[in-house]
Every structure is written in C-alpha cells, then in structure tokens.
Amino acid sequence: MKTVIHRADTRGGGNHGWLTTRYSFSFADWYEPTRMGFGKLRVLNDDVIAESAGFGAHSHSNMEIITIVTSGTVTHTDSMGNTFKVPAGDVQVMSAGTGVTHSEENTSQDEGLSLFQIWIETNRQNSKPNYAQKAFHLANSLPGTTLLASENGQEGSLPIQQDAYISYVAVDGTKPISYSVRDTQHGVYVFVIEGDVSVMDIELSGRDGLGLNDVDSITLSSKNGASLLLIEVPMH
C-alpha cells in the first residue's frame, strides 16, 4: 500500500472577499509541483461564496466537473440552455466535452454558499457536453456509502465520462465501514469533510486528505462520527 497525506493546513487557497477557497491540489495562483493531482483527479476545491456573488460565465473543455453543495444554493446557467437551482444536499455533474460556458452563482442576498468542486480528467475527448444533477440529501445520510457519480451513472449515481467513482461516506461510532476498490489499477483519495476518522490506521481530521493506491479495500472508523468523500480514480 502506498499513501500520501495532505493535512488541511497544507492546502493552498485564497481570500478574495466574495470567495474564500482552499485547494487540495495546485490551482489558479497556487502552484505546488508535488500536488498536481492524484491519478486522474486534478482538482478538489473547498469554496465558500458570499451572498450575491459567484463564478461568472467562463468556459471549460474535456473535463468532468462535479459540484457537491453543502450549504446554500447554487444557481447554474450554461451554454447548453440549462438554468437550475442546486440546493444543499444536491450534486451536479458536467461533462465539458467539446466546450461549454457556464456560471455558478449564489443569487441569495442573505445566505452564504459552501461547496466542493472536483475536476477529473475525461476519458472521452471532444464528446458532446452534458449536464445532470440529483438530490442525495447528504446531511440525512445513514451510516454507509452513497455513490454520487460514476461512469455511465451506475447504481443510481450521476454519469461522468471516466472510470471513476465518487462516494459520500457517513461513519458513526458503532462499527467500521469497509470500501472495496473496484479496479486494481485505481487509487482512492479520501477527503474528510467533518469529524475525526481512522483510515487504515492513519488518523485524519476535518479537511485532511489521504491518497491510497496498491490497495484492495479500505477500512474507515470513527469514535464520534465523521463524513467523508471517497474519490476512486485510475492512476495512469
């Protein structure tokens, strides 16, 4: 088993007034050559967006973009003709493909917005762009694993164009949870949203990240409860 640990206080980021953000991997003006991603996982950003602010219209191509809203509501608009509200507990995915222009904004005048944004390298270059979203009610999740996004939308998850699996895990203090890695060529990046958790006897706290590869399964336990993201991706 190979591991890499990214403690919360080693992340990059910035405070732009309307946006407070932390980067698990090199992004924007923060460049760290040892933190260019984990396999096909390229971006994991932890964003807090002020009222009546957000990311205005901008473009992407050939990237799988997953947004997990933890508080507030995102207003999504794109060049495919979509305009949707994405409230806390919902997840949205966008396959940028040949190119798409979109905005992600907090249109509320009195409520902040928090979200995680994940970018995964696509395995289908120059495909037709696609958008989807789904309510997962993550705050009410029972202990266990919920698959949020996967290639072709397996097990009721949202579809992305990469052999990758993004899961939300809730761990309570009663029993460990085991996660089986789906492919021997994959690695898993564990990101702790809240709480303290032991992952393969490695102790992690809120906003810590842990990359594991050359492993068949992962065991997670917590004395007082924790919530996590598990991002399984091809390593090559």
**Which one of 2.40.50.140, 3.20.20.210, 2.60.120.10, 1.10.287.180 gives the CATH number of domain 2-234?**
2.60.120.10
Confidence of residue 140 (pLDDT cuts 50, 70, 90): confident
Confidence of residue 173 (pLDDT cuts 50, 70, 90): confident
Question: Is 90 exceeded by the pLDDT of residue 210?
Answer: yes
Model's pTM, two decimal places? 0.97
pLDDT at 139: 86
Confidence of residue 208 (pLDDT cuts 50, 70, 90): very high
DSSP string across the chain? -EEEEE-GGG-EEEE-SSEEEEESS-BTTB--TT-S-BTTEEEEEEEEE-TTEEEEEEEE-SEEEEEEEEESEEEEEETTS-EEEEETTEEEEEE-TT-EEEEEEE--SS--EEEEEEEEE-SSTTPPPEEEEEE--GGGPPSEEEEEEEET-GGG-EEESSS-EEEEEEE-SSS-EEEE-S-TTEEEEEEEEEE-EEETTEEE-TT-EEEEES-SEEEEE-SS-EEEEEEEEE--
Domain ranges (residues) in the chain: 2-234
pLDDT at 161: 98
pLDDT at 3: 98
